[in-house]
Chains A and B, each alone.
Chain A
Amino acid sequence: MLQVRDLAIKLSDAKWEGRSFDCLPMPGESGVLQVTLSDQEEIPIYITATDTQLLCISYLFRTDELKSETVNEFNELCLQLNVSIPLSAFAKVGEQYVLFGALSLQSSFDDIMQEIVTLGENSAEALEAAEPYLA
């Protein structure tokens, strides 16, 4: 099974589309790796390996950061947009809005780097797109 710590070692030396990856394993037993993309330190990507997939998640904002009167409209928009966003999808974990991508554990290292960079770019764009809905 793919270990996020091994991934961290490989990512630290790698570059993809001119981006480098700053890796920091999160404390605790959850096996989460924080990856900060160069030139995009605002939104780190968090990587977790489960039995079947590699999950890459970025945490966008909490529900209480949205204007309460437009939450429904925003949710609807997210559902509408999901298919159009390359490789990533909107989701909610508890009160956190997230953007995530799931990869097979058999994915190549290039696939993983592409996923992380794309997710990072999508996250920045998602934040900008969500601006009118932020409180």
Chain B
Amino acid sequence: MSILKKIFTAVRGGAREVGEAIVDANAIRILEQEITDARNSLGKARENLTEVMAKEMQTKREISTLSQKITEHEDYASQAMEKGDEALAIEIAQKIVELEGEKSSKEAILESFTQHITTLKAQINQAEGTIAENDRQLLMVKTTESVQKATMSVTDSMSSNNSSMSNARESLERIKKRQQERSDKAAASAVLQAEAGNDLAAKIKAAGLSDSSSSSAESVLERIRAK
């Protein structure tokens, strides 16, 4: 069973208490053992693979040498026949039979090597997959554990401090209060700024400064007349 499924089952089955081991130590040991086994078999499979591949190449070379010899002897045989040396031709033909027998037995060996290589490659793939999968599952278990531990230490300290942090309602009220204070402050400072601005404008007007600085139709006419 996959670890995620185990965790699901454990949670559904009521292992909800924080701190209760959701995945037992045995399952973790099994996972770790599987990883070690897969690593070992991976190492062996790789070693075997290189060995078998070397043998395969060697056998291929031997087969091509035999093929060459067979062609050579076929040539000799036809030359002997041309010369009318029937006895020699038969002797050569016998050699060819012998060579062909050797070749077909080598070909059978080659076939078994090729199959062995395919099997080994599949084994390597599988071992690599198992290692990756188990590593991932192990991580999931370890994360689940550390989250549990963390939660336990947090909830422990919450209850021992009898802190108000543990009550969402109260936290919420305080957050809202803080936000209200912030927006009140902003509003108050806006009002203050507006007041300060108005105040200054009023003083300027009272001092008769604002009129002289503003340009009215009359002041324009005044300027024209003055020219």
Q: Using A26-B157, A50-B142 as known contacts, say yes or no to A43 and B16 having CB atoms under 8 A apart.
A: no
Nearest Cβ on chain B to A13's Cβ, whole angstroms: 24
Q: Are B175 and A124 in contact (CB under 8 A)?
A: yes
Q: Which residues of B contact A98 (CB under 8 A)?
A: 151
Q: Chain B residue with minimal CB distance to A66?
A: B168
B146-187 CB mask vs A (1 if < 8 Å, else 0) is: 111111111111100000011111011011101000000000
List the B side residues contacting A62 at CB < 8 Å: 166
**A window 46-80: CB within 8 A of B:** 46, 48, 50-53, 55, 57, 59-62, 65
Q: State the CA gap A50–B17 with chains docked (Å).
A: 21
Q: Which residue of A lies closest to B152 (CB)?
A: A30
A101 at the interface (CB under 8 A from B): no
Contacts A30-B146, A94-B17 given; indicate if A128 touches B172 (C-beta within 8 A).
Answer: yes
In contact, B171 and A43 (Cβ under 8 angstroms): yes
Does B139 belong to the interface (CB within 8 Å)?
Answer: yes
> B145 — nearest CB in chain A belongs to which residue?
A50
A23 on interface, CB distance cutoff 8 Å: no
The answer to whether B139 and A39 have CB atoms under 8 Å apart is no
Contact of A94 among B151, B165, B167 (CB under 8 A): B151
Chain A min CB distance to B14 (Å) = 11
Q: Which residues of B contact A32 (CB under 8 A)?
A: 149-150, 153-154
Q: Do the beta carbons of B18 and A94 come within 8 Å of each other?
A: yes
User: In the complex, how many angstroms separate the beta carbon of B149 from the nearest chain A beta carbon?
Assistant: 4
Could you say which of B150, B152, B166, B167 has the most chain A C-beta atoms within 10 Å of its C-beta?
A: B150
A50-B146, A51-B142, A94-B16 known; A127-B153 Cβ under 8 A: no
A42 to B150, CA, bound (A): 19
One of A34, A93, A131 near B151 (C-beta < 8 A): A93
List residues of chain B with CB under 8 Å of any chain A CB.
16-18, 139, 142-143, 146-158, 165-169, 171-172, 174-176, 178
**Given contacts A42-B175, A57-B147, A127-B172, could you give 4 more A-B pairs where the C-beta distance is less than 8 Å?**
A30-B146, A43-B171, A51-B142, A127-B175
Q: Pick 20 A–B contacts, CB within 8 A, sort by A.
A: A26-B153, A28-B153, A30-B153, A34-B154, A43-B171, A48-B150, A50-B143, A51-B139, A55-B150, A57-B154, A59-B151, A59-B166, A61-B168, A62-B166, A65-B169, A93-B18, A94-B17, A98-B151, A128-B175, A131-B172
